[in-house]
Structure 1
Amino acid sequence: MKKIITLILISLVVQILSAQNTELKTKSNTPKADKLFKRMWYVEASEYYKRALSKYEDEVIVNDIDNSEYLRLLKKTGDCFFFNTDMENAHNYYSELISNYYNKVPAEYIFRYAHSLEGIGKYDEAKLWMKEFAKRTVGKDDRSMNLNQKDVSVEDVLNISPQFVLHNLSVNTENSDFGPMYYKENLVYSSAINPSNFHTRVYHWNEQPFLNMFVGKLNTIESDIKKLGEFSKSINTRYHEATLTFSPDYKRVYFTRNNFNGELKRDDKGTNHLKLYSADLIKNEKNGKEEWTNIQELPFNSDNYSVGHPALSKDGKLLYFVSDMPGSIGATDIFVVDVIQQQSNNHTNVNYSKPRNLGETVNTSGREMFPFITDKALYFSSDGHLGLGGLDIFQSKIDNAEFKQPVNLGAPLNSKLDDFSFIIKEDKNTGFVASNRELGKGDDDIYSFVRIPLDEPVCEQLVNGYVSNTKTGERISQVTLELLDASGKTLETTITDINGVYQFTKAINCNTIYKVKAVKTGYNSKEKDFKTANSSGETIVPLGLDTLNELIVEENGQLKIKIGIIYFDLNKSFIRSDAALELNKIVVLMMQYPEMVIKIESHTDSRNTDEYNLKLSDRRAKATRDYIISQDIKANRIESAIGYGETQLINKCKNDVPCTKEEHQLNRRSEFIIIKM
């Protein structure tokens, strides 16, 4: 990938160099090569280094002169190809360097040599040299730890089951095409095609035109695009613009550009860095068209380091990006800031928090780049985690707002060269990626893909629990319970048993939020959120219910209205004034709940004859009913009023059984049973 270094946030120099035709004949010409190398014009620098090497090679052999300069030239020539991602040529020079100067080369060149071996598919050799790198840098460089993870080996990455099918886009050119991003029904991408009709400006890093952003129309299955033209003339300049992301309403764009706002700015070493910019889509009052205007630098940019490759969270509240700013763990790290929107005088002001490094789970001593965030995972490219060569694409799943250990997504998504600019629609398992792999149309190509998810170990939970009265603690039977997902959709319904216990039979996902809703006549309904565990098993969700009113109780599975004792005169059935006071509580309750229907049961003790008690209790039940109706309660709301005499005693006090006055009193009762509400 010859241009990826353009946007890896290593320093950029943007100048136009006249063609150099002077032959290098002696080692005194190497300062010219060094100057080109510092400017990162690697294509031209490599030619000067190769010619200087040829001269030194003869002198080293014939005259046995000091070889320190020859060693330096080998490193520089290999670096020209390594930084330009030409791993075959990089391997050739690093191989000579390692074989001739093994004890003199720094550990960094062992690392680069191992990467060049991966880049040409020699994974077994690469693994051996990475172990050597780990020995030399133990405790000093965490790339050796990342590249030799205890639980993952190169063989494991090679054996990952393929889950991607790739298709090369029709709009790819012979130059660099990368950085795809969804924009409504279109795809915006970066390309080294200069839109000017006058002349083509060339970037001497890789001898290609400067990058600009273009837009294409997605086809119906989102597997290809039809080029529509420039994305925005106001955003594209004569220098680099690439990699962008949009706010959820598509009214704001964040994009990467050279440190250029009318003129190029450089640090004190003459280096031009990358910066992040924003622009707003505003309607032009003159022509009525929407245009990208109000181009602003983001406040955490700097003239002394690079910032780029933006990615917004789905809600637009978090902006991820890549930088080599102070506080970076490696060459380039992924950072995040909060996007803070404030309304003022019908205008939205946007502010940003201080940048936060995503930490060592994601970032390494190598390069982490091209983040893309979904609700499920962070996707990014890295050469610091264990991969197949160059930049590989990794997935770090999100759990409770934490990023999990990144996982290599394997071939064919990843190759032995550079793979990057990954975006995906998780619900469709489709997306786009860029790569400079072999057999492409040009330098970097954009590929559409279909993802076939690998079968993962099933993690399931079963939900059960019990329902009880919050005041008495008594378990409640015949409660209807619903299991709902987070959106409120009912997944299953069940009923508590005689012991108030319930169980759903539907297996649900682990580590997911659900709801249980409990409903029963006479009780306030109750909803309870819960989250299932991270591993397969069961989740217990107890619920407590309150009755609708303190007069309503449940006894033996029946809802009843509980009032004071209704007293009658001896052998009488008319309603006394003290009894009326208690019955009025029922009247008020039935007025409060106009759908309530009850039945009345009257009972006596066992003293006197069975027949007498039966008739007396029935007269009292009906007298009670008549009183309630007289207080403007409709007759059809009292289903029945029946006396049961001594047929339903609640204790031992049957005929001829000696009992106390208090024990007999327990059997003299009126019950008001709720049928419905």
Structure 2
Amino acid sequence: MVLSNAAFAQRSLLRYADEQMDQLNYKAAAELYEKAYEKKARYMTARNVAYSYGKINDYDKAYVWWEKALSYKGEYTQEDVKGFAQTAHAVNRYGEINDLLQQEDIDERTLAEWDFLAANHSPVDPTKVIAVEELNTNAADFYLTKDAAGNKYFVSDRGIEKSSSMKLFRLDARNKSFNKDYYQWTGRSYLSIYKQNPAGEIQKLTVDTEAFRHVSDPAFAEINGKTYLFFTATRGITKVKGEDEVIVYPELYYGILDENGTISQYEAFPGNSIHEYAIVSPYISQDNNLYFSSNMDGGLGGYDLYKVALITDSNGIGFGAAENLGEMVNTSNDERDPFIYNSALYFSSNGHQGYGGLDIYQSKINGETLGKVQNLGLPINSIRDDFAYRMFSDNELYLSSNRDAENGLDDIYKIRPVFRKFIAEVVDCNGNPIEGAQLEFVDAKGKNIALATIENNKYKTDLGQDELYNLSIMKAGYFTVSDNEISALGKDSILITKQYKLAKYPAPDVAVFTEIIYYDLDKSFIRRGEDDILNDVSALLNTYPELTLEVRSHTDSRASHKYNQRLSKRRANAVSKYLEAEGIDPDRLTLSWYGEEDLISSCPDGVSCKEELHQVNRRSELIIPLNTKKLIELKSTSSDYCEMSSQIEQLMIKANLYNLDMHQLAMDLDVAQIMALERLRLLMTFNPELDVTLIAQHEGDQTIFSNKCSKLKEFLVSRGLDSDRVKVSPHSEEELQSASSQSRGNMIIRIK
């Protein structure tokens, strides 16, 4: 009789322990199973103790009890080995589990999962995933998301606490378990959605119905100028016709959310089936697809991910047919919490290879195809449940997890960015790869970081999560590039690529811009048409404060030498005043005046000339020199110089330097042709390394073309240029199309 009573007590204790485990009250279950094991040592009891301690994160005790459970040869299962491996991973005990796996006939999947854990057992820095204390409580807090205005939303069962046994929540429930005021399963409040505005104020969203109990899983969509909130809700049904007790599954609803946090005009998703299956964790993608998780019939098992086209018009919202995302992401276990960012699907699963519980995974989206699933690894995942992964446009990263909760409940965590690949691409101003560059890459402490060379003169390395780096790129004959703002902080992409342009030093004593403006007889005011040129000059000088301007003013030969000196000075000052009005500091200008000392046309005193030939002498030459040493001292960046070169090139094209219209060239050059040649002569005078090649714009008589070129060359040489710097190369129109239009060093000029 005594033995019979002891056996009865043992069975009663085990039944009570089983009930506590079924109710997810793992702490109580572990203690009861321990007492039962003391009365009678059995494999299943030891296994249940280990399993229960693992569920409440007490891995040291779980490890001890898994060792006891696996001492029962022939009784433990593959799942027990997996549980032992995960616990060994948590307490950093790898030798024992390796010995066990070598002794036993373990299936390939369990071996693969252990290989995955063993390969990823490096210590995790807890500062990389930080609990959001302002949102977390001693209740369940999870599923953070944001709306377009930057408000945060999350789910919590905070409020009422009727029970000290902090049971995990369940969205589904039996119809008999609903209480109007609190959830009898946990003894806490029902799940609700909360809003935190940018000022940090938290309020509970209001749903205009008494029917709902749990309300969770918020997702947003902007439709017809209104903010729609999609959410999961469990209705508080207590009576079901013809059934005393049934399961009430969570359903999907959507309604309009106003600024006061009230959800109104809500409607049920047509795919709901309250007593057959659940629909949870909705998400609305930018291409108007509704994603959710469901255990409806026809899936691969457990909860699968589905996609439904969202159809919107003036009448409201409609839905397409539900499409299972397929076996690339779905498994026979559970997948949930879909989220899309930068052409990648993120979700949680306990069916793919992972660390234990729910892990977070990524699958790249290529059109309608989903790529291979990748575990996001440590520290994003843990051996507990990790889910509700979210990435936002301001580079905030969040997840929900019960990894550190002593009560086993979920908290919200913010993720510090993980390591990212960095690639530096070094090119010239035209985007062509540059060979032989030297790169110096250092961290915030001044430590040199090695860069590996890859194809097309690109360089790569890893970036630390919170590190700030400085990169210097050097090459003889080029401006040095520096970048002190390289960081992975806030970056969501696995790959960070930056392109750096190296610009050549210009030859010393060069001019990056030359132009000429002209004046009326005996006048110094800036006449209409010439102000356009000065506007271009002021724009260039305002953009690049390191540049200066030389103004060299002239007159024709009429009037006295002394008077012409004063007149040319007034003309130089007129340029200075005009540019000063455009915001240019006069100290950046060098003014010179020559009177009639440098005549272009041969019209000296006493020689009768046409008025138009006197006009070419009444001028101010504008020269913007480039001081290479000064630029280097000012640390002008290569991109600045590339942009400056492009802008100057456009001004030269605008001045029509590359197309000399000599079509009507007769015995003598006309005024327009002289002016064009003088602009070219001025450019070449202040760019001694520059040569020009004259080519024909169209096919024609080569003798005529040669005669034209001879006159042009004769003029340029008469103005002081070396004849070797002016070349003649007749081309056909077809050859002309393939010829380079211009280049510093050898400028190609088309002759009409």
TM-score by length of 2: 0.48
Q: Shift of the alpha carbon at 1:397? A: 3.4
Q: Secondary structure at the match of 2:74?
A: coil
Structure 2 residue aligned with 1:313, among 285, 294, 298? 285
Q: Indicate how the Cα distance of structure 1 residues 320 and 160 shifts in structure 2: closer, same or farther if over 3 A, else same.
A: farther
Structure 2 residue aligned with 1:256, among 225, 232, 246? 232
Aligned to 1:521: none
- In 2: Cα distance, 1:460 partner to 1:264 partner: 67
Mapping for residues 157-556 of structure 1, pairs under 5 Å: 158=122, 164=128, 166-183=130-147, 184-194=149-159, 201-204=182-185, 208-218=188-198, 226-234=200-208, 239-249=213-223, 251-258=227-234, 260=236, 270-281=246-257, 291-299=263-271, 301=273, 303-315=275-287, 317-329=288-300, 331-341=302-312, 343=313, 346-360=314-328, 362-425=329-392, 427-438=393-404, 443-451=409-417, 454-456=419-421, 458=423
Q: Indicate how the Cα distance of structure 1 residues 114 and 234 shifts in structure 2: closer, same or farther if over 3 A, else same.
A: farther
Taking only aligned residues, the RMSD between alpha carbons, in angstroms, comes to 5.5
Q: Indicate how the Cα distance of structure 1 residues 52 and 253 shifts in structure 2: closer, same or farther if over 3 A, else same.
A: same
Partner deviation per Cα, 1:52-87 (whole Å, 9 max, x = no partner): 7635653x47xxxxxxxx444445555555566665
Aligned to 1:573: none
Q: Secondary structure at the match of 2:293?
A: strand
Q: Shift of the alpha carbon at 1:389? A: 4.0
Q: Secondary structure at the match of 1:456?
A: strand
Q: One-letter code of the match for 1:108?
A: E
Q: Secondary structure at the match of 2:193?
A: strand
Q: Secondary structure at the match of 1:337?
A: strand
- In 1: Cα distance, 2:254 partner to 2:271 partner: 11
Q: Indicate how the Cα distance of structure 1 residues 642 and 508 shifts in structure 2: closer, same or farther if over 3 A, else same.
A: same
Question: Which deviates more from structure 2 when the two are superposed, residues 161-170 or residues 253-262?
Answer: 161-170
Q: Shift of the alpha carbon at 1:179? A: 0.8
Aligned to 1:115: 86
Q: One-letter code of the match for 1:307?
A: I
Q: One-letter code of the match for 1:458?
A: I
Q: Shift of the alpha carbon at 1:353? A: 1.9
Q: Indicate how the Cα distance of structure 1 residues 261 and 201 shifts in structure 2: closer, same or farther if over 3 A, else same.
A: closer
Q: 1:173 touches 1:442 (CA, 8 Å); kept in 2?
A: no
Q: Secondary structure at the match of 2:357?
A: coil
Q: Shift of the alpha carbon at 1:164? A: 3.9
Partner deviation per Cα, 1:484-527 (whole Å, 9 max, x = no partner): xxxxxxxxxxxxxxxxxxxxx99999xxxxxxxxxxxxxxxxxx
Q: Shift of the alpha carbon at 1:303? A: 2.4
Q: 1:431 touches 1:448 (CA, 8 Å); kept in 2?
A: yes
Are residue 27 (structure 1) and residue 11 (structure 2) matched? yes
Aligned to 1:530: none
Q: Shift of the alpha carbon at 1:174? A: 0.9
Q: Indicate how the Cα distance of structure 1 residues 441 and 127 shifts in structure 2: closer, same or farther if over 3 A, else same.
A: same
Q: Indicate how the Cα distance of structure 1 residues 378 and 181 shifts in structure 2: closer, same or farther if over 3 A, else same.
A: same
Structure with higher helix content: 2
Q: 2:47 touches 2:66 (CA, 8 Å); kept in 1?
A: yes
Q: Secondary structure at the match of 1:257?
A: strand
Q: Indicate how the Cα distance of structure 1 residues 72 and 145 shifts in structure 2: closer, same or farther if over 3 A, else same.
A: closer
- In 2: Cα distance, 1:641 partner to 1:72 partner: 96
Partner deviation per Cα, 1:338-395 (whole Å, 9 max, x = no partner): 2233x3xx412311322313423x3344443322211232222334444444333333
- In 1: Cα distance, 2:242 partner to 2:344 partner: 36
Q: Indicate how the Cα distance of structure 1 residues 385 and 289 shifts in structure 2: closer, same or farther if over 3 A, else same.
A: closer
- In 2: Cα distance, 1:230 partner to 1:31 partner: 40
Q: Indicate how the Cα distance of structure 1 residues 118 and 79 shifts in structure 2: closer, same or farther if over 3 A, else same.
A: same
Q: 1:422 touches 1:431 (CA, 8 Å); kept in 2?
A: yes
Q: Indicate how the Cα distance of structure 1 residues 132 and 158 shifts in structure 2: closer, same or farther if over 3 A, else same.
A: farther
Q: Secondary structure at the match of 1:194?
A: coil
Q: One-letter code of the match for 1:186?
A: N
Q: Shift of the alpha carbon at 1:460? A: 6.8
Q: Indicate how the Cα distance of structure 1 residues 56 and 454 shifts in structure 2: closer, same or farther if over 3 A, else same.
A: closer
- In 2: Cα distance, 1:164 partner to 1:266 partner: 54
Q: 1:601 touches 1:642 (CA, 8 Å); kept in 2?
A: no
Q: Secondary structure at the match of 1:169?
A: coil
Q: Shift of the alpha carbon at 1:237? A: 6.5
Q: Secondary structure at the match of 1:42?
A: coil
Q: Indicate how the Cα distance of structure 1 residues 210 and 395 shifts in structure 2: closer, same or farther if over 3 A, else same.
A: same
Q: Secondary structure at the match of 1:158?
A: coil
Q: Indicate how the Cα distance of structure 1 residues 442 and 52 shifts in structure 2: closer, same or farther if over 3 A, else same.
A: closer
Q: Aligned residues: percent identity?
A: 21
Q: Secondary structure at the match of 2:138?
A: coil
Q: Shift of the alpha carbon at 1:182? A: 0.6
Q: One-letter code of the match for 2:317?
A: N
- In 1: Cα distance, 2:103 partner to 2:280 partner: 34
Q: How many residues align?
A: 446
Q: Shift of the alpha carbon at 1:217? A: 1.8
Partner deviation per Cα, 1:534-557 (whole Å, 9 max, x = no partner): 9x9xxxxxxxxxxxxxxxxxxxxx
Partner deviation per Cα, 1:29-55 (whole Å, 9 max, x = no partner): 655555565xx41318x7478547635
Q: 2:347 touches 2:360 (CA, 8 Å); kept in 1?
A: yes
- In 2: Cα distance, 1:27 partner to 1:641 partner: 106
- In 1: Cα distance, 2:355 partner to 2:209 partner: 36
Q: 2:213 touches 2:234 (CA, 8 Å); kept in 1?
A: yes
Q: Indicate how the Cα distance of structure 1 residues 354 and 368 shifts in structure 2: closer, same or farther if over 3 A, else same.
A: closer
Q: Secondary structure at the match of 2:391?
A: strand
Q: Indicate how the Cα distance of structure 1 residues 107 and 236 shifts in structure 2: closer, same or farther if over 3 A, else same.
A: farther
- Unaligned runs of 5+ residues in structure 1 are 1-23, 62-69, 220-225, 464-480, 484-504, 510-533, 537-596, 603-613, 616-639, 650-672
Q: Secondary structure at the match of 1:99?
A: coil
Q: One-letter code of the match for 1:333?
A: D
Q: Shift of the alpha carbon at 1:310? A: 1.8
Q: Shift of the alpha carbon at 1:281? A: 3.7
Q: Shift of the alpha carbon at 1:246? A: 0.9
User: Using CA pairs below 8 Å that are at least 6 residues apart, which structure has the higher relative contact order?
Assistant: 1
- In 1: Cα distance, 2:151 partner to 2:228 partner: 16
Q: One-letter code of the match for 2:305?
A: I
- In 2: Cα distance, 1:216 partner to 1:303 partner: 34
Q: 2:17 touches 2:32 (CA, 8 Å); kept in 1?
A: no
Aligned to 1:42: 24
Q: Indicate how the Cα distance of structure 1 residues 129 and 272 shifts in structure 2: closer, same or farther if over 3 A, else same.
A: farther
Q: Indicate how the Cα distance of structure 1 residues 290 and 386 shifts in structure 2: closer, same or farther if over 3 A, else same.
A: closer
- In 1: Cα distance, 2:704 partner to 2:161 partner: 104
Q: Shift of the alpha carbon at 1:456? A: 1.6
Structure 1 residue aligned with 2:76, among 105, 112, 119? 105
Q: One-letter code of the match for 2:153?
A: V
Q: One-letter code of the match for 1:299?
A: G
- In 2: Cα distance, 1:439 partner to 1:294 partner: 35
Q: Shift of the alpha carbon at 1:103? A: 1.2
Q: Shift of the alpha carbon at 1:177? A: 0.8
